[in-house]
A and B are shown apart, each in its own frame.
Chain A
Amino acid sequence: MSLLPKDFSGYIAVVKRDCATCRLIQPALKALDQARELLVFTQDDADFPRGLSGLRDDSALELSFRLEIETVPTLIAVADGKETRRLVGWQREDWRRLCDMPALGAGLPAFSPGCGSKSVEPGMPEKLALKFGDARLQSRRIPVAAAQDPHELAYERGWSDGLPVIPPTAERVLLMLGGTARSPSEIVGVIPPNLAPCTVEKVAVNAVMAGCKPEYLPVVLAAVEAACHDAFCLHGVLATTYFVGPMLIVNGPIRDKIGMNSGINALGQGNRANASIGRALQLLIRNVGGGIPGGVDRATLGQPGKVGFCIAEREEESPWESLAQERGFAPGTSTVTLFAGGGVHPIADQKSRAPESLTRSLALSLRTIHHAKLYGGADALLILSPEHMRVFRHAGWTKKRFRQELDKHLAVDGQVVIRGAGGIAEGMPPGLAGQRLNKLRPGGLLIVYAGANAGMWSAVISGWAASGPKGSVPVTVAIE
Protein backbone atom coordinates (compact mmCIF):
# COMPACT_ATOMS: atom_id res chain seq x y z
CA MET A 1 0.00 0.00 0.00
CA SER A 2 1.47 3.33 -1.04
CA LEU A 3 0.20 4.98 2.16
CA LEU A 4 2.81 2.97 4.09
CA PRO A 5 6.59 2.81 3.60
CA LYS A 6 7.63 -0.18 1.47
CA ASP A 7 7.93 -3.38 3.54
CA PHE A 8 6.98 -1.44 6.66
CA SER A 9 7.51 -3.19 9.96
CA GLY A 10 6.08 -1.76 13.13
CA TYR A 11 2.67 -0.63 14.35
CA ILE A 12 -0.22 1.28 12.85
CA ALA A 13 -2.77 3.00 15.04
CA VAL A 14 -5.97 4.49 13.62
CA VAL A 15 -7.67 7.09 15.82
CA LYS A 16 -9.98 10.06 15.81
CA ARG A 17 -10.12 13.03 18.16
CA ASP A 18 -13.86 12.67 18.53
CA CYS A 19 -13.38 9.32 20.30
CA ALA A 20 -13.10 9.46 24.11
CA THR A 21 -10.98 6.31 24.24
CA CYS A 22 -8.58 7.70 21.63
CA ARG A 23 -8.16 10.81 23.76
CA LEU A 24 -7.74 8.67 26.88
CA ILE A 25 -4.90 6.59 25.48
CA GLN A 26 -2.78 9.51 24.22
CA PRO A 27 -0.07 8.81 26.86
CA ALA A 28 0.17 5.20 25.68
CA LEU A 29 0.46 6.30 22.03
CA LYS A 30 3.23 8.78 22.99
CA ALA A 31 5.14 6.05 24.80
CA LEU A 32 4.70 3.70 21.87
CA ASP A 33 5.79 6.42 19.42
CA GLN A 34 9.05 6.88 21.34
CA ALA A 35 9.80 3.19 21.84
CA ARG A 36 8.68 1.58 18.60
CA GLU A 37 8.16 2.24 14.91
CA LEU A 38 4.63 3.68 14.97
CA LEU A 39 2.40 5.37 12.39
CA VAL A 40 -0.72 7.01 13.80
CA PHE A 41 -3.43 7.72 11.23
CA THR A 42 -5.98 10.21 12.47
CA GLN A 43 -9.36 10.60 10.84
CA ASP A 44 -10.59 13.99 11.99
CA ASP A 45 -7.70 16.16 13.20
CA ALA A 46 -4.25 16.11 11.61
CA ASP A 47 -2.70 17.37 14.88
CA PHE A 48 -4.13 14.68 17.08
CA PRO A 49 -2.51 13.31 19.17
CA ARG A 50 -0.20 16.33 19.22
CA GLY A 51 3.55 15.87 19.13
CA LEU A 52 3.85 12.36 17.73
CA SER A 53 6.61 11.79 15.17
CA GLY A 54 4.62 9.21 13.23
CA LEU A 55 1.44 11.25 12.82
CA ARG A 56 -0.39 10.88 9.47
CA ASP A 57 -3.52 12.59 8.19
CA ASP A 58 -6.25 10.15 7.14
CA SER A 59 -9.08 12.65 6.83
CA ALA A 60 -9.69 11.27 3.31
CA LEU A 61 -10.16 7.89 5.05
CA GLU A 62 -8.22 6.05 2.36
CA LEU A 63 -6.11 4.04 4.79
CA SER A 64 -9.13 3.40 7.02
CA PHE A 65 -11.02 2.09 3.97
CA ARG A 66 -8.15 -0.04 2.68
CA LEU A 67 -7.45 -1.58 6.09
CA GLU A 68 -11.20 -2.09 6.69
CA ILE A 69 -11.10 -0.20 9.98
CA GLU A 70 -14.44 -0.44 11.76
CA THR A 71 -13.50 0.84 15.22
CA VAL A 72 -11.10 3.42 16.60
CA PRO A 73 -8.66 3.05 18.17
CA THR A 74 -7.39 0.08 16.16
CA LEU A 75 -3.79 -1.06 16.64
CA ILE A 76 -2.24 -3.21 13.92
CA ALA A 77 1.11 -4.99 14.10
CA VAL A 78 2.83 -5.17 10.71
CA ALA A 79 5.90 -7.19 9.66
CA ASP A 80 7.44 -6.67 6.21
CA GLY A 81 4.31 -4.95 4.97
CA LYS A 82 1.97 -7.69 6.19
CA GLU A 83 -0.52 -7.45 9.02
CA THR A 84 0.19 -9.95 11.78
CA ARG A 85 -2.38 -8.97 14.39
CA ARG A 86 -4.90 -6.26 15.20
CA LEU A 87 -6.47 -5.00 18.40
CA VAL A 88 -9.71 -3.04 18.57
CA GLY A 89 -10.43 -0.53 21.35
CA TRP A 90 -8.15 -0.21 24.39
CA GLN A 91 -7.31 -3.44 26.21
CA ARG A 92 -4.25 -2.64 28.28
CA GLU A 93 -2.83 -6.14 28.68
CA ASP A 94 -3.34 -7.02 25.02
CA TRP A 95 -1.62 -3.80 23.92
CA ARG A 96 1.27 -4.49 26.30
CA ARG A 97 1.73 -8.01 24.94
CA LEU A 98 1.43 -7.01 21.30
CA CYS A 99 3.94 -4.18 21.70
CA ASP A 100 6.16 -6.07 24.14
CA MET A 101 6.03 -3.10 26.53
CA PRO A 102 5.06 -4.37 30.02
CA ALA A 103 4.53 -0.86 31.44
CA LEU A 104 2.53 0.55 28.50
CA GLY A 105 -0.50 2.52 29.60
CA ALA A 106 0.38 2.55 33.27
CA GLY A 107 -2.26 4.62 35.01
CA LEU A 108 -4.85 3.98 32.30
CA PRO A 109 -7.89 1.81 32.90
CA ALA A 110 -7.59 -1.85 31.93
CA PHE A 111 -10.29 -1.55 29.31
CA SER A 112 -12.11 1.10 27.35
CA PRO A 113 -14.26 0.36 24.29
CA GLY A 114 -13.60 2.11 21.02
CA CYS A 115 -15.90 4.20 18.82
CA GLY A 116 -17.13 3.68 15.27
CA SER A 117 -14.64 4.51 12.54
CA LYS A 118 -15.60 7.45 10.33
CA SER A 119 -15.06 5.15 7.37
CA VAL A 120 -18.13 3.09 8.30
CA GLU A 121 -20.54 5.93 9.03
CA PRO A 122 -23.81 5.54 7.09
CA GLY A 123 -23.27 6.14 3.37
CA MET A 124 -19.49 6.40 3.75
CA PRO A 125 -18.51 2.83 2.71
CA GLU A 126 -20.16 3.38 -0.69
CA LYS A 127 -18.47 6.76 -1.17
CA LEU A 128 -15.08 5.29 -0.25
CA ALA A 129 -15.61 2.25 -2.44
CA LEU A 130 -16.28 4.53 -5.42
CA LYS A 131 -13.23 6.68 -4.61
CA PHE A 132 -10.66 4.10 -3.57
CA GLY A 133 -12.12 0.67 -4.30
CA ASP A 134 -12.34 -1.43 -7.40
CA ALA A 135 -16.06 -0.78 -7.86
CA ARG A 136 -16.66 -0.13 -11.55
CA LEU A 137 -20.02 1.16 -12.67
CA GLN A 138 -20.55 1.29 -16.40
CA SER A 139 -23.72 3.37 -16.67
CA ARG A 140 -23.46 6.73 -18.36
CA ARG A 141 -23.23 9.64 -15.91
CA ILE A 142 -25.82 12.34 -16.31
CA PRO A 143 -24.71 15.60 -14.66
CA VAL A 144 -27.23 17.54 -12.60
CA ALA A 145 -26.65 21.29 -12.72
CA ALA A 146 -26.31 23.04 -9.36
CA ALA A 147 -29.68 24.74 -9.60
CA GLN A 148 -31.44 21.71 -11.06
CA ASP A 149 -33.67 19.44 -9.02
CA PRO A 150 -32.66 15.82 -9.68
CA HIS A 151 -36.26 14.70 -9.26
CA GLU A 152 -37.35 17.06 -12.01
CA LEU A 153 -34.47 15.91 -14.20
CA ALA A 154 -35.75 12.34 -13.89
CA TYR A 155 -39.17 13.47 -15.09
CA GLU A 156 -37.75 15.52 -17.94
CA ARG A 157 -35.68 12.59 -19.12
CA GLY A 158 -38.73 10.35 -19.17
CA TRP A 159 -37.39 7.96 -16.52
CA SER A 160 -40.49 8.09 -14.32
CA ASP A 161 -43.83 6.32 -14.37
CA GLY A 162 -45.42 9.58 -13.24
CA LEU A 163 -44.48 9.29 -9.58
CA PRO A 164 -41.26 10.68 -8.09
CA VAL A 165 -38.20 8.43 -8.32
CA ILE A 166 -35.22 8.23 -5.98
CA PRO A 167 -32.31 9.88 -7.88
CA PRO A 168 -29.94 7.03 -8.84
CA THR A 169 -26.58 8.33 -7.61
CA ALA A 170 -23.55 6.08 -7.87
CA GLU A 171 -23.47 5.69 -4.08
CA ARG A 172 -27.07 4.49 -3.96
CA VAL A 173 -26.53 2.10 -6.85
CA LEU A 174 -23.42 0.68 -5.21
CA LEU A 175 -25.36 0.18 -1.98
CA MET A 176 -28.12 -1.54 -3.98
CA LEU A 177 -25.59 -3.83 -5.65
CA GLY A 178 -24.64 -5.01 -2.17
CA GLY A 179 -27.92 -6.93 -2.27
CA THR A 180 -26.54 -9.49 -4.71
CA ALA A 181 -23.34 -11.43 -5.23
CA ARG A 182 -23.80 -11.21 -9.00
CA SER A 183 -21.42 -9.10 -11.05
CA PRO A 184 -22.79 -5.67 -12.05
CA SER A 185 -21.85 -6.40 -15.66
CA GLU A 186 -23.71 -9.72 -15.88
CA ILE A 187 -26.56 -9.73 -18.39
CA VAL A 188 -29.81 -10.71 -16.65
CA GLY A 189 -31.90 -10.83 -19.79
CA VAL A 190 -32.86 -9.10 -23.00
CA ILE A 191 -35.86 -6.91 -22.29
CA PRO A 192 -38.60 -6.39 -24.89
CA PRO A 193 -39.73 -4.50 -26.78
CA ASN A 194 -36.36 -2.98 -27.70
CA LEU A 195 -34.61 -6.27 -26.87
CA ALA A 196 -32.03 -4.34 -24.90
CA PRO A 197 -29.52 -6.37 -22.87
CA CYS A 198 -30.14 -5.62 -19.21
CA THR A 199 -27.22 -5.86 -16.78
CA VAL A 200 -27.38 -6.40 -13.04
CA GLU A 201 -26.21 -2.78 -12.77
CA LYS A 202 -29.17 -1.46 -14.77
CA VAL A 203 -31.49 -3.51 -12.60
CA ALA A 204 -29.88 -1.90 -9.55
CA VAL A 205 -30.22 1.62 -11.00
CA ASN A 206 -33.93 1.16 -11.63
CA ALA A 207 -34.44 -0.60 -8.29
CA VAL A 208 -32.97 2.47 -6.59
CA MET A 209 -35.36 4.70 -8.50
CA ALA A 210 -38.33 2.51 -7.57
CA GLY A 211 -37.53 2.80 -3.87
CA CYS A 212 -36.20 -0.73 -3.28
CA LYS A 213 -33.87 -1.69 -0.46
CA PRO A 214 -30.77 -3.72 -1.39
CA GLU A 215 -32.27 -6.90 0.04
CA TYR A 216 -35.12 -6.69 -2.49
CA LEU A 217 -32.69 -6.83 -5.41
CA PRO A 218 -32.64 -10.65 -5.76
CA VAL A 219 -36.43 -10.60 -6.20
CA VAL A 220 -36.21 -7.89 -8.85
CA LEU A 221 -33.46 -9.80 -10.65
CA ALA A 222 -35.58 -12.97 -10.70
CA ALA A 223 -38.56 -10.96 -11.92
CA VAL A 224 -36.50 -9.58 -14.81
CA GLU A 225 -35.42 -13.11 -15.73
CA ALA A 226 -39.05 -14.24 -15.72
CA ALA A 227 -40.14 -11.21 -17.76
CA CYS A 228 -37.48 -11.92 -20.38
CA HIS A 229 -38.56 -15.55 -20.68
CA ASP A 230 -39.95 -16.19 -24.13
CA ALA A 231 -43.02 -17.95 -22.71
CA PHE A 232 -44.08 -14.80 -20.85
CA CYS A 233 -44.25 -12.88 -24.14
CA LEU A 234 -43.59 -9.47 -22.62
CA HIS A 235 -43.71 -7.73 -25.99
CA GLY A 236 -47.25 -8.97 -26.53
CA VAL A 237 -48.27 -8.17 -22.96
CA LEU A 238 -47.10 -4.61 -23.59
CA ALA A 239 -48.41 -4.17 -27.07
CA THR A 240 -51.91 -5.47 -26.42
CA THR A 241 -54.77 -3.02 -26.05
CA TYR A 242 -56.00 -5.28 -23.18
CA PHE A 243 -55.53 -4.34 -19.51
CA VAL A 244 -52.71 -6.60 -18.47
CA GLY A 245 -49.28 -5.91 -17.04
CA PRO A 246 -46.69 -8.14 -15.37
CA MET A 247 -47.91 -9.09 -11.91
CA LEU A 248 -45.49 -10.70 -9.44
CA ILE A 249 -46.34 -13.34 -6.85
CA VAL A 250 -43.55 -14.05 -4.36
CA ASN A 251 -43.27 -17.35 -2.49
CA GLY A 252 -40.80 -18.77 0.01
CA PRO A 253 -38.71 -17.56 2.94
CA ILE A 254 -37.61 -14.34 1.26
CA ARG A 255 -41.09 -12.89 1.85
CA ASP A 256 -40.44 -12.67 5.57
CA LYS A 257 -36.77 -11.79 5.22
CA ILE A 258 -37.61 -8.63 3.33
CA GLY A 259 -40.82 -7.89 5.20
CA MET A 260 -43.39 -8.39 2.46
CA ASN A 261 -47.06 -8.14 3.30
CA SER A 262 -49.33 -11.09 2.55
CA GLY A 263 -51.94 -10.29 5.19
CA ILE A 264 -54.15 -7.28 5.68
CA ASN A 265 -54.52 -5.23 2.47
CA ALA A 266 -52.34 -7.81 0.68
CA LEU A 267 -53.12 -6.39 -2.76
CA GLY A 268 -53.05 -2.79 -1.63
CA GLN A 269 -50.66 -0.03 -0.67
CA GLY A 270 -48.51 0.54 2.37
CA ASN A 271 -45.67 -1.98 2.23
CA ARG A 272 -42.34 -0.86 0.80
CA ALA A 273 -41.26 -4.24 -0.57
CA ASN A 274 -44.59 -5.03 -2.22
CA ALA A 275 -44.81 -1.54 -3.70
CA SER A 276 -41.28 -1.05 -4.91
CA ILE A 277 -40.40 -4.50 -6.32
CA GLY A 278 -43.25 -4.46 -8.82
CA ARG A 279 -42.47 -0.86 -9.67
CA ALA A 280 -38.80 -1.66 -10.26
CA LEU A 281 -39.76 -4.21 -12.92
CA GLN A 282 -42.06 -1.71 -14.61
CA LEU A 283 -39.34 0.98 -14.59
CA LEU A 284 -36.93 -1.51 -16.16
CA ILE A 285 -39.44 -2.33 -18.87
CA ARG A 286 -39.86 1.40 -19.47
CA ASN A 287 -36.26 2.54 -19.25
CA VAL A 288 -34.25 -0.42 -20.53
CA GLY A 289 -36.87 -2.17 -22.62
CA GLY A 290 -38.42 1.00 -24.01
CA GLY A 291 -41.97 -0.16 -23.24
CA ILE A 292 -43.69 3.18 -22.88
CA PRO A 293 -47.44 3.93 -22.90
CA GLY A 294 -48.34 5.40 -26.25
CA GLY A 295 -45.27 3.75 -27.76
CA VAL A 296 -45.28 -0.03 -27.83
CA ASP A 297 -47.63 -0.09 -24.82
CA ARG A 298 -50.99 0.32 -26.56
CA ALA A 299 -53.36 -0.37 -23.63
CA THR A 300 -56.82 1.08 -24.20
CA LEU A 301 -57.42 1.65 -20.49
CA GLY A 302 -54.61 -0.13 -18.67
CA GLN A 303 -55.02 -0.58 -14.93
CA PRO A 304 -53.47 0.97 -11.81
CA GLY A 305 -51.40 -2.18 -11.14
CA LYS A 306 -49.26 -1.26 -14.13
CA VAL A 307 -47.35 1.12 -11.87
CA GLY A 308 -46.25 -2.08 -10.17
CA PHE A 309 -48.14 -5.12 -8.91
CA CYS A 310 -46.34 -7.44 -6.52
CA ILE A 311 -47.93 -9.62 -3.87
CA ALA A 312 -46.82 -12.39 -1.52
CA GLU A 313 -48.63 -15.62 -0.67
CA ARG A 314 -49.57 -16.16 2.99
CA GLU A 315 -48.09 -19.64 2.93
CA GLU A 316 -47.61 -20.45 6.59
CA GLU A 317 -51.30 -20.30 7.45
CA SER A 318 -52.49 -22.08 4.33
CA PRO A 319 -53.67 -25.70 4.51
CA TRP A 320 -52.80 -26.07 0.82
CA GLU A 321 -49.50 -26.28 -1.02
CA SER A 322 -48.27 -22.92 -2.20
CA LEU A 323 -48.32 -21.64 -5.75
CA ALA A 324 -44.57 -22.32 -5.99
CA GLN A 325 -44.96 -25.90 -4.74
CA GLU A 326 -47.77 -26.52 -7.22
CA ARG A 327 -45.45 -25.28 -9.92
CA GLY A 328 -42.77 -27.80 -8.98
CA PHE A 329 -40.55 -25.95 -6.51
CA ALA A 330 -39.50 -27.56 -3.23
CA PRO A 331 -40.76 -26.10 0.05
CA GLY A 332 -38.26 -23.57 1.33
CA THR A 333 -37.40 -22.32 -2.15
CA SER A 334 -38.04 -18.64 -2.76
CA THR A 335 -39.60 -17.92 -6.13
CA VAL A 336 -41.27 -15.21 -8.11
CA THR A 337 -44.08 -16.02 -10.51
CA LEU A 338 -44.95 -13.59 -13.26
CA PHE A 339 -48.55 -13.46 -14.42
CA ALA A 340 -49.93 -11.15 -17.09
CA GLY A 341 -52.70 -9.73 -14.94
CA GLY A 342 -55.51 -7.23 -15.34
CA GLY A 343 -57.21 -5.48 -12.46
CA VAL A 344 -58.64 -6.92 -9.27
CA HIS A 345 -62.18 -8.26 -9.53
CA PRO A 346 -63.80 -8.77 -6.12
CA ILE A 347 -65.77 -11.92 -5.22
CA ALA A 348 -68.16 -11.46 -2.31
CA ASP A 349 -69.72 -14.48 -0.65
CA GLN A 350 -70.80 -14.07 2.96
CA LYS A 351 -73.32 -16.90 3.01
CA SER A 352 -71.55 -20.07 1.85
CA ARG A 353 -70.51 -22.31 4.71
CA ALA A 354 -70.35 -25.53 2.69
CA PRO A 355 -67.44 -26.09 0.28
CA GLU A 356 -69.80 -27.10 -2.52
CA SER A 357 -71.67 -23.79 -2.31
CA LEU A 358 -68.52 -21.70 -2.12
CA THR A 359 -66.98 -23.57 -5.05
CA ARG A 360 -70.03 -22.88 -7.22
CA SER A 361 -69.97 -19.28 -6.06
CA LEU A 362 -66.31 -18.77 -6.94
CA ALA A 363 -66.81 -20.50 -10.29
CA LEU A 364 -69.69 -18.16 -11.11
CA SER A 365 -67.41 -15.14 -10.71
CA LEU A 366 -64.54 -16.83 -12.52
CA ARG A 367 -66.83 -17.43 -15.51
CA THR A 368 -67.29 -13.67 -15.90
CA ILE A 369 -63.67 -12.67 -16.40
CA HIS A 370 -62.67 -11.34 -19.81
CA HIS A 371 -66.35 -11.58 -20.80
CA ALA A 372 -69.08 -13.87 -19.51
CA LYS A 373 -69.49 -15.30 -23.01
CA LEU A 374 -65.81 -15.75 -23.87
CA TYR A 375 -64.28 -19.09 -22.97
CA GLY A 376 -60.75 -20.45 -23.10
CA GLY A 377 -59.11 -17.09 -23.76
CA ALA A 378 -57.91 -15.59 -20.52
CA ASP A 379 -56.13 -17.35 -17.65
CA ALA A 380 -57.10 -16.38 -14.14
CA LEU A 381 -55.47 -15.86 -10.76
CA LEU A 382 -57.74 -16.70 -7.84
CA ILE A 383 -56.74 -15.21 -4.49
CA LEU A 384 -58.51 -16.98 -1.64
CA SER A 385 -58.87 -15.12 1.64
CA PRO A 386 -58.63 -16.76 5.08
CA GLU A 387 -62.37 -16.69 5.77
CA HIS A 388 -63.13 -18.41 2.49
CA MET A 389 -60.28 -20.86 2.99
CA ARG A 390 -61.75 -21.71 6.40
CA VAL A 391 -64.71 -23.32 4.64
CA PHE A 392 -62.43 -25.67 2.72
CA ARG A 393 -60.17 -26.25 5.70
CA HIS A 394 -63.07 -27.34 7.91
CA ALA A 395 -64.36 -29.64 5.19
CA GLY A 396 -60.93 -31.20 4.75
CA TRP A 397 -60.72 -30.33 1.07
CA THR A 398 -57.28 -30.46 -0.52
CA LYS A 399 -56.21 -28.07 -3.25
CA LYS A 400 -56.49 -30.93 -5.74
CA ARG A 401 -60.06 -31.69 -4.63
CA PHE A 402 -60.97 -28.02 -4.90
CA ARG A 403 -59.59 -27.82 -8.42
CA GLN A 404 -61.52 -30.94 -9.46
CA GLU A 405 -64.80 -29.62 -8.06
CA LEU A 406 -64.22 -26.13 -9.46
CA ASP A 407 -63.58 -27.48 -12.95
CA LYS A 408 -67.07 -29.02 -12.99
CA HIS A 409 -68.58 -25.58 -12.54
CA LEU A 410 -66.34 -23.77 -14.99
CA ALA A 411 -67.83 -25.50 -18.03
CA VAL A 412 -71.01 -24.49 -19.86
CA ASP A 413 -72.98 -25.65 -22.89
CA GLY A 414 -71.72 -23.86 -25.94
CA GLN A 415 -75.12 -22.72 -27.15
CA VAL A 416 -75.54 -20.31 -24.20
CA VAL A 417 -72.32 -18.45 -24.98
CA ILE A 418 -72.17 -18.46 -28.78
CA ARG A 419 -72.39 -15.21 -30.67
CA GLY A 420 -75.89 -13.82 -30.58
CA ALA A 421 -77.01 -15.94 -27.60
CA GLY A 422 -78.84 -13.84 -25.04
CA GLY A 423 -79.22 -11.08 -27.59
CA ILE A 424 -75.51 -10.27 -27.32
CA ALA A 425 -73.34 -10.25 -30.44
CA GLU A 426 -70.17 -11.05 -28.50
CA GLY A 427 -69.48 -14.69 -27.80
CA MET A 428 -67.94 -17.93 -29.01
CA PRO A 429 -68.04 -19.12 -32.65
CA PRO A 430 -71.43 -20.59 -33.56
CA GLY A 431 -69.83 -23.91 -34.50
CA LEU A 432 -69.22 -24.58 -30.79
CA ALA A 433 -72.94 -24.87 -30.05
CA GLY A 434 -73.58 -28.33 -28.72
CA GLN A 435 -70.13 -28.66 -27.16
CA ARG A 436 -69.18 -28.34 -23.51
CA LEU A 437 -66.82 -25.37 -23.20
CA ASN A 438 -64.31 -24.81 -20.40
CA LYS A 439 -63.79 -21.29 -19.14
CA LEU A 440 -60.11 -21.86 -18.54
CA ARG A 441 -57.50 -23.77 -20.51
CA PRO A 442 -55.80 -26.66 -18.68
CA GLY A 443 -53.25 -25.09 -16.33
CA GLY A 444 -54.85 -21.69 -16.78
CA LEU A 445 -55.82 -21.14 -13.15
CA LEU A 446 -53.34 -19.99 -10.51
CA ILE A 447 -54.51 -20.18 -6.89
CA VAL A 448 -52.92 -18.15 -4.12
CA TYR A 449 -53.81 -17.67 -0.45
CA ALA A 450 -53.57 -14.14 0.94
CA GLY A 451 -55.35 -11.46 2.88
CA ALA A 452 -56.52 -10.49 6.34
CA ASN A 453 -58.28 -12.80 8.77
CA ALA A 454 -61.56 -10.93 8.50
CA GLY A 455 -63.71 -10.64 5.41
CA MET A 456 -65.52 -13.18 3.27
CA TRP A 457 -64.12 -11.73 0.10
CA SER A 458 -61.77 -13.30 -2.37
CA ALA A 459 -60.46 -11.89 -5.62
CA VAL A 460 -59.92 -12.95 -9.16
CA ILE A 461 -57.51 -11.31 -11.56
CA SER A 462 -58.06 -11.80 -15.24
CA GLY A 463 -55.14 -12.89 -17.36
CA TRP A 464 -54.52 -11.65 -20.87
CA ALA A 465 -57.18 -12.42 -23.47
CA ALA A 466 -54.39 -14.24 -25.30
CA SER A 467 -53.28 -16.45 -22.44
CA GLY A 468 -51.47 -19.73 -22.94
CA PRO A 469 -48.95 -20.80 -25.57
CA LYS A 470 -50.59 -18.53 -28.15
CA GLY A 471 -49.74 -15.55 -25.96
CA SER A 472 -48.48 -15.34 -22.38
CA VAL A 473 -47.84 -18.25 -20.02
CA PRO A 474 -47.08 -17.62 -16.33
CA VAL A 475 -43.38 -18.06 -15.57
CA THR A 476 -41.85 -18.99 -12.20
CA VAL A 477 -38.18 -18.39 -11.43
CA ALA A 478 -36.22 -19.31 -8.30
CA ILE A 479 -34.78 -16.34 -6.42
CA GLU A 480 -31.03 -16.68 -5.85
Chain B
Amino acid sequence: MTELLDPTAERQPAQRQALPLPQNLAGARIALLDISKPRGDVFLDRLARQLQALAAETRRYQKPTFARVAPAALKQAIASENDLVIEALAD
Protein backbone atom coordinates (compact mmCIF):
# COMPACT_ATOMS: atom_id res chain seq x y z
CA MET B 1 0.00 0.00 0.00
CA THR B 2 1.23 3.49 -0.84
CA GLU B 3 1.95 5.67 2.16
CA LEU B 4 2.52 9.39 2.21
CA LEU B 5 4.47 11.28 4.83
CA ASP B 6 2.36 13.80 6.70
CA PRO B 7 3.56 17.29 5.71
CA THR B 8 1.85 18.97 8.65
CA ALA B 9 2.89 19.67 12.22
CA GLU B 10 0.74 16.62 13.11
CA ARG B 11 -1.47 18.43 15.53
CA GLN B 12 -4.63 16.98 13.98
CA PRO B 13 -5.60 13.30 14.33
CA ALA B 14 -4.41 11.11 11.46
CA GLN B 15 -7.91 9.81 10.87
CA ARG B 16 -10.69 12.21 10.03
CA GLN B 17 -13.01 12.70 12.97
CA ALA B 18 -16.78 12.56 12.76
CA LEU B 19 -18.56 15.85 13.27
CA PRO B 20 -20.28 16.22 16.64
CA LEU B 21 -23.83 14.89 16.72
CA PRO B 22 -26.57 17.55 16.80
CA GLN B 23 -28.16 18.06 20.21
CA ASN B 24 -31.58 18.77 18.77
CA LEU B 25 -33.26 17.99 15.46
CA ALA B 26 -35.92 20.70 15.67
CA GLY B 27 -35.54 22.95 12.64
CA ALA B 28 -32.68 20.87 11.23
CA ARG B 29 -32.63 20.42 7.46
CA ILE B 30 -32.18 16.70 6.89
CA ALA B 31 -31.48 15.04 3.55
CA LEU B 32 -32.88 11.54 3.12
CA LEU B 33 -30.88 9.77 0.44
CA ASP B 34 -32.38 6.80 -1.34
CA ILE B 35 -29.55 4.98 -3.11
CA SER B 36 -32.02 3.03 -5.28
CA LYS B 37 -31.82 -0.20 -3.37
CA PRO B 38 -35.07 -2.15 -2.87
CA ARG B 39 -37.27 -0.92 0.01
CA GLY B 40 -35.01 2.00 0.74
CA ASP B 41 -38.04 4.17 0.05
CA VAL B 42 -40.10 2.30 2.65
CA PHE B 43 -37.44 2.87 5.28
CA LEU B 44 -37.03 6.54 4.39
CA ASP B 45 -40.80 7.18 4.29
CA ARG B 46 -41.10 5.97 7.85
CA LEU B 47 -38.01 7.85 8.97
CA ALA B 48 -39.33 11.05 7.38
CA ARG B 49 -42.57 10.82 9.39
CA GLN B 50 -40.64 10.39 12.62
CA LEU B 51 -38.27 13.24 11.88
CA GLN B 52 -41.10 15.56 10.90
CA ALA B 53 -42.72 14.73 14.24
CA LEU B 54 -39.54 16.12 15.82
CA ALA B 55 -39.99 19.35 13.82
CA ALA B 56 -37.15 18.55 11.43
CA GLU B 57 -37.37 19.59 7.80
CA THR B 58 -36.73 16.68 5.42
CA ARG B 59 -35.82 16.56 1.75
CA ARG B 60 -35.65 13.46 -0.41
CA TYR B 61 -32.84 12.67 -2.82
CA GLN B 62 -32.13 9.64 -4.93
CA LYS B 63 -29.04 8.23 -6.57
CA PRO B 64 -29.62 6.96 -10.14
CA THR B 65 -28.05 3.63 -9.20
CA PHE B 66 -26.65 2.16 -6.00
CA ALA B 67 -23.73 0.69 -7.98
CA ARG B 68 -22.02 3.98 -8.64
CA VAL B 69 -20.98 6.88 -6.50
CA ALA B 70 -23.43 9.74 -6.37
CA PRO B 71 -23.12 12.28 -9.22
CA ALA B 72 -21.31 15.48 -8.22
CA ALA B 73 -24.44 17.59 -8.71
CA LEU B 74 -26.38 15.40 -6.29
CA LYS B 75 -23.62 15.55 -3.65
CA GLN B 76 -23.41 19.32 -4.03
CA ALA B 77 -27.18 19.69 -3.71
CA ILE B 78 -27.27 17.59 -0.56
CA ALA B 79 -24.33 19.48 0.98
CA SER B 80 -25.64 22.94 0.16
CA GLU B 81 -29.31 22.41 1.05
CA ASN B 82 -29.02 20.47 4.31
CA ASP B 83 -27.44 20.27 7.74
CA LEU B 84 -27.51 16.46 7.99
CA VAL B 85 -27.89 13.49 5.70
CA ILE B 86 -29.32 10.05 6.39
CA GLU B 87 -28.61 7.42 3.79
CA ALA B 88 -30.61 4.23 3.36
CA LEU B 89 -27.62 2.04 2.54
CA ALA B 90 -28.68 -1.58 2.39
CA ASP B 91 -31.73 -3.63 1.55
Contact = CB atoms under 8 A, between A and B. Distances in A.
Contacts of B76: none
A196 interface: yes
B1 A209 contact: no
Interface stretch (B9-17, B45-53, B80-88): B9-17
A358 B2 CA distance: 58
Given A146-B1, A150-B2, A159 B9 contact: no
B68 to A, nearest CB: 13
A288 B3 contact: no
Contacts of B24: none
Chain B interface size, as a band, is: 10 to 19
Interface of B: 1-11, 14
Contact of B9 (A150, A153, A288): A288
B9 A287 contact: yes
A206 B11 contact: no
For the complex of A and B, the 9 pairs showing the least CB-CB separation, nearest first, are A196-B9, A139-B5, A140-B6, A144-B2, A141-B3, A287-B7, A205-B7, A287-B8, A142-B4
A164 B3 CA distance: 17
Interface string A142-184: 1111100010011000010000000111100100000000000
A159 B2 contact: no
A201 B5 CA distance: 10
B1 A288 contact: no
A169 B7 contact: no
B8 A141 contact: no
A38 interface: no
A203 to B, nearest CB: 10
20 contacts: A137-B5, A139-B5, A139-B10, A140-B6, A141-B3, A141-B5, A142-B3, A143-B3, A144-B2, A144-B3, A144-B4, A167-B2, A167-B4, A169-B2, A169-B4, A170-B3, A170-B5, A198-B9, A289-B9, A290-B11
Chain A interface size, as a band, is: 20 to 34
Interface of A: 137, 139-146, 150, 153-154, 159, 167-170, 173, 194, 196-198, 201-202, 205-206, 209, 283, 287-290
Nearest to A206: B7
B8 A169 contact: no
A174 B58 CA distance: 52
Contacts of A206: 7
Given A140-B14, A142-B14, A288 B2 contact: no
Contact of B8 (A143, A153, A167, A288): A288
A209 B7 CA distance: 9
A287 B3 CA distance: 18
B5 A140 contact: yes
B7 A159 contact: yes
A198 B9 CA distance: 8
A290 B1 CA distance: 28
A196 B14 CA distance: 17
Contact of B4 (A168, A202, A290): A168
B62 to A, nearest CB: 24
A102 B29 CA distance: 91
Given A202-B7, A206-B7, A288-B9, A144 B1 contact: yes
